[in-house]
Amino acid sequence: MNGYQSGSNGLHNIIPIEMNANFFFDRAVKSLDRYQYDKALKYFRKAVEYEPDNPVNHCNMAGILSETGDYEGSNDVLQHILDKVDSSMTECYFYMANNYANMELFEEAEKALVTYLEEDSSGQFMDEAEELMELLHYELNRPAKVNRIKSREGMVEHERARELLEEGKFAQAVKLLEEIVGDYPDFLAARNNLALAYYYMGRFAKAKQTIEEVLEQEPGNLHGLCNLAIFFQHEGNNDQRNRLVEMLVVTVPFHQEHVFKLATTMGILGKHEAAYSHFRRLLKDEEFSSDPSLYHYTAVAACNSGQYESAANYWRHAKKLDPGSVIPDFYLAQLQHRKKTGTMVMKVSYHYHLPFEEQFKRWEHDGEVMTEEVKHNPLIRSSFFWALRHGDPHIKLQVIRTLELIADDEVQHALQSFLQEPGEDADLKDAARLVLQQLESKRSRTQDREAGVKGKEVLPDWHPTWQEVVDKASQTMDKRSDHFWKRELETLWSEFLSKLYPDIPNIRNTSGWAAALEYMTAKMRGRAYTYEEVALRYGISSSTVRRYARQIDQVCGNKDQSDDNFRPFTENI
């Protein structure tokens, strides 16, 4: 019997073959799998005949010609694509550069490669292009003249913006990232970082909107999804947060950068076991295995998951890698204390620095060390700005006073933004206003010196009696005032002497001047001391305190917190 049963005309069971571009494309691919290049080329030519406007078929044909050694024919096809089919197929320039190089036409290869680098926005063949560039440099004995690399436009600026973020300079980072996103709307990494910068500044609605813009362009963007989950948690939107967490917790990224992002996000969201698993993956990579902070993160994730012995091991390893750090020792001591006292739960922050309370204890007697650490350690600096937004009230007060010692534009912006928060404590806002006033006063004195106005720098050697006033005040204030008050007192005394120079009075009554300085500094801090209270502590009359305080006030301006000096700040609220 025949292989099929015919009907009345013997043809009704025959399946017709549709001769189209897809048919010939499939034939070409099968021929390539069998290394039958001649057949593959023939089939690709037929596919081009059926779909002459499809650049992919043309590219495939050019690829076969290149494989068979017909580099000139391949370039003819590639040039035809650019001229007649699709001028946006910038990868054709890269293919042409390779063909020219194989023909040892290195000048032409360089020209095509430079065009690729300057016109291609995707950067699909960047690694290969760099290798070819090195070859051409060697063959031509000179570097290629590339005016720009389009696929990397904004990369340098973006790296600078990332540095600003890590340093806690959020306002500057926002300004730069907004410019990058404006110039390169598809630069999703910059848009993600812009969202984070908004978030750190407390501009939560803007942060969320920016992340939504990322996910509109790329719904599976891992950084965007992680950030959005954190934003949902901040809003208290538990339903949306939980749906995202369910998806993220089963995600296993391939790239190490994504692993780190997911690990830190899981930690922030309280999924410490998932965070622990991802951090351990990172430690297996030689690139990360020497980073003490990563061992700290892994230890924290283990500790917060109840795996205290593992946490101790990771902190010991962090100590070996960073022997000068007090952080591993602090947490190892905490673990030991927990073991002795039988404390059941120990929750730890992922930040690679001591808790704020512990930091302030260490800095209490050494303000210079604190100033240097806060200024130059980007992790501590950024965490201070974060604590100003999210810390407990007593932590916020300590942070506000500490920020005065940093005294830069970022601090001023952070404190001004803090004043605009409607729910913040009034006393904390008063403290922030006072610090802003001090910063403005210091800036004015600096401008005066630059303009030639006499200041501290033109004073003669510091006179012993001037120092005696400061010492007397410090000793008397010792049990009632902190390090920051004393610094303000010294600043006020220096300002007073600088503005009077060279007509500085003869400082005979050390106690009187010291008492007046304490009184004026207290007013700057919003403390309602009376002349009688201060006079009693220094063993002098209240009229003496009043007389010297009036002299300081006349020279340095009214330091009362109801003073007009606060208007530039409150007008912005």
Distance CA 486, CA 477 (A): 8
Per-residue confidence (pLDDT) for residue 455, from 0 to 100: 41
If pLDDT is split at 50, 70 and 90, which confidence band does 471 have? confident
Mean pLDDT, to the nearest integer, of 550-560?
71
pLDDT at 224 exceeding the cut of 80: yes
Mean pLDDT, to the nearest integer, of 458-473?
73
Handedness of CA 377, 381, 386, 388 (dihedral sign): positive
Q: Is residue 512 within 8 Å of residue 469, measured between CB atoms?
A: no
Q: Residue 271, Cβ neighbours under 10 Å: how many?
A: 22
Residue 101 or residue 392, greater confidence: 101
Residue 359 or residue 75, greater confidence: 75
Per-residue confidence (pLDDT) for residue 286, from 0 to 100: 78
Residue with tokens 């100590």: 319
Q: Which residues contact 438 (CB under 8 A, 6 or more apart)?
A: 404, 488, 491, 524
138-187 tens-digit pLDDT: 888 888 777 666 666 677 688 888 888 877 778 888 999 999 899 888 88
Distances (CA, A) of 253 to 259, 260, 296, 300: 6, 9, 21, 21
Q: Is residue 164 within 8 Å of residue 172, measured between CB atoms?
A: yes
What contacts 24+ positions apart, CB below 8 Å, involve 25-28? 25/57, 25/60, 28/60
Distance CA 573, CA 569 (A): 7
Distances (CA, A) of 321 to 11, 296, 332, 369: 80, 11, 15, 23
If pLDDT is split at 50, 70 and 90, which confidence band does 565 have? very low
Percent of the chain exceeding pLDDT 90 equals: 17
Q: Is residue 264 within 8 Å of residue 252, measured between CB atoms?
A: no
For 550, the token pair is: 């009036």
Mean pLDDT, to the nearest integer, of 421-433?
78
Highest mean pLDDT among 206-220, 320-334, 378-392, 424-438: 206-220
- The closest of 477, 467, 479 to 510, measured between CA atoms, is 467
Q: Is residue 307 within 8 Å of residue 337, measured between CB atoms?
A: no
If pLDDT is split at 50, 70 and 90, which confidence band does 495 have? confident
238-279 tens-digit pLDDT: 899 999 999 888 888 877 888 899 999 999 899 999 999 999
H-assigned helices in 305-408? 308-321, 327-341, 356-363, 367-376, 378-390, 393-406
Per-residue confidence (pLDDT) for residue 364, from 0 to 100: 53
| DSSP letter, residue 347 | -
452 phi-psi bin (left φ>0, alpha ψ -120 to 50, beta other): left
Per-residue confidence (pLDDT) for residue 403, from 0 to 100: 74
Distance CA 11, CA 444 (A): 99
Per-residue confidence (pLDDT) for residue 1, from 0 to 100: 38
pLDDT at 482 exceeding the cut of 50: yes
Per-residue confidence (pLDDT) for residue 167, from 0 to 100: 74
How high does pLDDT run on average in the chain? Answer: 77
For 406, the token pair is: 């940093």
Mean pLDDT, to the nearest integer, of 201-223?
88
Out of 108-122, 177-191, 369-383, pick the least confident: 369-383
- The closest of 193, 321, 324 to 261, measured between CA atoms, is 193
pLDDT at 195 exceeding the cut of 50: yes
What contacts 24+ positions apart, CB below 8 Å, involve 568-572? 568/440, 569/416, 569/419, 569/433, 569/436, 569/437, 570/419, 570/433, 572/416, 572/419, 572/420
Distance CA 563, CA 437 (A): 10
Distance CA 502, CA 40 (A): 95
Q: Which residues contact 429 (CB under 8 A, 6 or more apart)?
A: 418, 419
Per-residue confidence (pLDDT) for residue 470, from 0 to 100: 83
